[in-house]
Copies of this chain bind each other. A is one copy, B any other.
Amino acid sequence: MAIISPTLLLDERKCKDNIALMCTKTRRMGLELRPHFKTHQSRIIGSWFRDTGINKITVSSLQMAAYFADDGWEDITVAFPVNHREINLINDLAARINLGILCVDPLNLEFLNKKLHNPANFWIEIDIDSQRSGLSPENLITIQSMIKMADPGLLRFRGFLSHAGKTYSASTVDEVVAIHRREVKELNNLASNFRRFSTHLEISVGDTPGCVMADEFPGITEIRPGNFVFFDLMQAEKGICRYNQIAIALACPVVAVYPPRGELVVYGGAIHLSKDFLINEHNVFFYGKPVNLTESGWSEPYPESAVVRLAQEHGVIQLKPEFLKKYRIGDIIGILPVHTCLTAQAMGSYQTLTGEKIDHM
């Protein structure tokens, strides 16, 4: 494989194993899996999901919905509060596919009742401590008014949707599971007040940490994890996955080696990895972990090593002397990303270990 500049490698086998694991779990638990495609944003990877029987997906923008609708996906939820300014795109998509949209405010319904021309499904987003978007589950009066406001010929109420974003800042698996349990409980309590409005009231939850680690989903009808397709250091460092499940790595040419500093410099910086970071046990920020690239993929991260600084195109990697000495200018080293969603977005395409190009929107 001739790598001349930063290249995002995709280990197809690991990725398909990650997909299979989640599909098996949801099937076993009787849950619908509506995977979030914002992590990979790829039609080819989407087809791997389709091959396992998945026929409904989640995306984070209407543009992304259009990208996948053009590829034949017919049931797509846009898990982002409805943006009134994109009503034309919403109408286009609602005419073509089974479109799901998110409402977070009565104003959304007031607007959609007037401006939506084609039927769509709507979900009410509930915020369980994520402090992002959605209504508090205690806000029963507003929630009820939203359900009642919706023009039934246009807007079909599906149920409640939440994203337990707090699991991403949890530091242990136990904490993740506790957050998940609280989310499930609160959503069920909420739903019990509204069963009279719908015989098929659904509850959708969506974070990868919770969906991977939890074993109980009482009352939940569908899950929408996304990151699990690749996983990343953010997941591995808290025990949600193993390092060897991380399915993408950034391959970077080595451009300088500094044994006295215990560092090497690669072509691969903030515009390739993104500046998302983790903080290690010594309170040091890091942006990735280096791995040895091999013919068949890559190794576990080198011990006590990290990408410690990033400029626009430079990455500075700290390595122990016994590993640093293996690298010379012109070699290639791999980096496991902190946050694969952002690295994939920054890179805009993938290359499999056999050299095939994989699309990214």
Contacts and interface: CB of A to CB of B under 8 A. Distances in A.
Interface in A306-361: 309, 311-314, 316, 328-330, 332, 341-342, 345-346
A273 to B, nearest CB: 10
A22 interface: no
A105 interface: yes
B4 A132 contact: no
B104 A255 contact: yes
A133 B263 CA distance: 10
Interface stretch (A66-74, A82-90, A116-124): A82-90
A132 B270 CA distance: 14
A52 interface: no
Nearest to A271: B345
A261 interface: yes
B86 A133 contact: no
The secondary-structure label for the interface of chain A is mixed
A133 to B, nearest CB: 5
Contact of A330 (B80, B104, B111, B267): B111
Contacts of A265: 81, 132-133
Contact of A85 (B3, B82, B261, B275): B3
Contact of A105 (B88, B256, B276): B256
A253 interface: yes
Given A131-B309, A132-B314, A253 B330 contact: no
A60 interface: yes
Given A4-B86, A85-B3, A104 B313 contact: no
Contacts of A38: 312-313
A101 to B, nearest CB: 11
A108 interface: yes
Contacts of A346: 346
Contact of A131 (B60, B261, B270): B261
A5 interface: yes
Contacts of A61: 5, 313
Contact of A82 (B165, B255, B270): B255
B312 A341 contact: yes
Contact of A5 (B86, B253, B313, B330): B86
A80 B342 contact: no
Contact of A316 (B131, B311, B312): B131
With most chain B CB atoms within 10 A of its CB, the pick from A133, A332, A346 is A133
B329 A256 contact: no
A-B pairs with lowest CB-CB distance, top 6:
A84-B330, A81-B255, A4-B85, A275-B275, A133-B256, A133-B265
30 contacts: A4-B83, A4-B85, A4-B88, A5-B83, A80-B255, A80-B313, A81-B255, A81-B256, A81-B265, A85-B330, A85-B332, A104-B255, A107-B330, A108-B329, A111-B329, A111-B330, A131-B261, A131-B263, A131-B316, A132-B265, A132-B309, A132-B316, A133-B314, A165-B311, A270-B274, A270-B276, A270-B342, A271-B342, A271-B345, A312-B345
Interface of A: 3-5, 38, 60-61, 63, 80-86, 88-89, 104-105, 107-108, 111, 131-134, 165, 253, 255-257, 261, 263, 265, 267, 270-271, 274-277, 309, 311-314, 316, 328-330, 332, 341-342, 345-346
